[in-house]
Structure 1
Amino acid sequence: MQPDEVALRVLKKYPNRRLYDTQTSSYITLTDVKQMVLSGESFVVRDAKSGEDLTRSILLQIILEEETGGVPIFSTQMLSQIIRFYGHAMQGMMGSYLEKNLQTFTDIQARIAEQSKGLYDPKAMNPELWAQFLQGQAPVVQGLMGNYLEQSKSMFLQMQEQMAKQAETLFPGMAGFVPPKR
């Protein structure tokens, strides 16, 4: 066990493909792991024999099940584009870029949810109040999305700068080189 795993819930994966939750001393399913993710619980999945970290693999399995079981998030084109980044010089930067964009999007979603708290109760829903809220939120949502796009643009520009610095380090004689126009 790694030192940072003290606070983590440890799941063990056995060769028979079963997952064992060391906290509850019981076998669990991928659905249970998905619920842990949805509830924000921190965990690690370890191979029962070797101790190898299998967390990413298990999370990818959950994504695969979700993608094949309902309405997918990823289009074929998007998956193809992601695959093209593997082995590419920008692979590490792309992962960071996607991660930051998802975090920003999640933050926006949380802000909207916080602002709408108490307004949407299906049992005591006031349609007029909800409509007023949504109308008032249009400018707020536009502002949040504008900020999101601006942050995304900023992250992309940072990525370009990092690439330029790497290129400069690798090819010092090429600094300031501008290819001829055709």
Structure 2
Amino acid sequence: MNNATQTPAPSQQRIIKKYPNRRLYDTITSSYITLMEVKALVMKREAFEVIDVKTGDNITRSILLQIILEEEASGSPMFTAPVLESLIRFYGHAMQGMLGGYLEKNIQSLIDVQTRFAEQSKGFTPEMWSQFVTLQPPALQAMMGGSLEQSKHILAQMQEQMQKQTEQMLGVFGLKS
């Protein structure tokens, strides 16, 4: 049995080495692991870094993107083509730096809503679930209301920031907006 999912001691940082032959080596378990085992580490919220042995670069993001690509190709994608096209258009755009934070905060809000829902739904009887299903749109709106308000607030902040940056840039050229 592969010990790749063994939990490291709290003082140990899990390092996964990527070799030129594309194999991943878990230094905690002293064994080669697959991308799906790396995905299992993510699902268990275990901290790790993936280091390219040849260059010494941290390639964790690249490996995570590879996992997402495999998940997207597996038959039930999360992202539609228009969403992916929109994300691509943000690269090189003035909003690129802000989009990551915006998406991160919204995903965290969704996780918070999911956690609250799971806590509140403990002990639901079948009758209670039936009632919930009939009230689903209002209930979801109530739970997501905070998330939507937070999104509007973040967008307003981004707009303000862009306006200030534009004014500063125009000021450098002696122009006023």
TM-score of Structure 1 vs Structure 2, range by shorter chain: 0.7 to 0.9
Q: CA deviation at 1:8?
A: 2.9
Matched, 1:75 2:80: yes
Of 83-92 and 42-51, more deviation after overlay is shown by 42-51
Gaps (5+ residues) in structure 2?
1-10
Matched, 1:95 2:95: no
Runs of 4+ in 1 over 3 A off after TM superposition: 132-140
Q: CA deviation at 1:147?
A: 1.4
Counterpart residue type for residue 160 of structure 1: Q
**Corresponding residue of 1:164:** 163
2:116 is aligned, of 111, 119, 125, to 111
Matching of residues 1-182 of structure 1 within 5 Å? 7-119=12-124, 126-134=125-133, 139-172=138-171, 173-175=174-176, 177=177
- Structure 2 distance, partners of 1:64, 1:127, is 38
- Structure 1 distance, partners of 2:164, 2:13, is 38
Of 9-18 and 137-146, more deviation after overlay is shown by 137-146
Q: What TM-score comes out, normalization by structure 2 length?
A: 0.85
**Corresponding residue of 2:5:** none
Structure 1 pair 136–81 and aligned structure 2 pair: CA distance change class (3 A): closer
Q: What TM-score comes out, normalization by structure 1 length?
A: 0.83
- Structure 2 distance, partners of 1:28, 1:43, is 13
Structure 1 pair 118–11 and aligned structure 2 pair: CA distance change class (3 A): farther
- Structure 2 distance, partners of 1:8, 1:174, is 52
1:133-166 deviation line (CA, Å, top 9, x unaligned): 5557764432121211111111000000110111
Structure 1 pair 56–164 and aligned structure 2 pair: CA distance change class (3 A): same
Counterpart residue type for residue 142 of structure 1: Q
Structure 1 pair 29–171 and aligned structure 2 pair: CA distance change class (3 A): same
Counterpart residue type for residue 161 of structure 1: E
In structure 2, the residue corresponding to 1:146 is in which secondary structure? Answer: helix
Counterpart residue type for residue 113 of structure 2: I
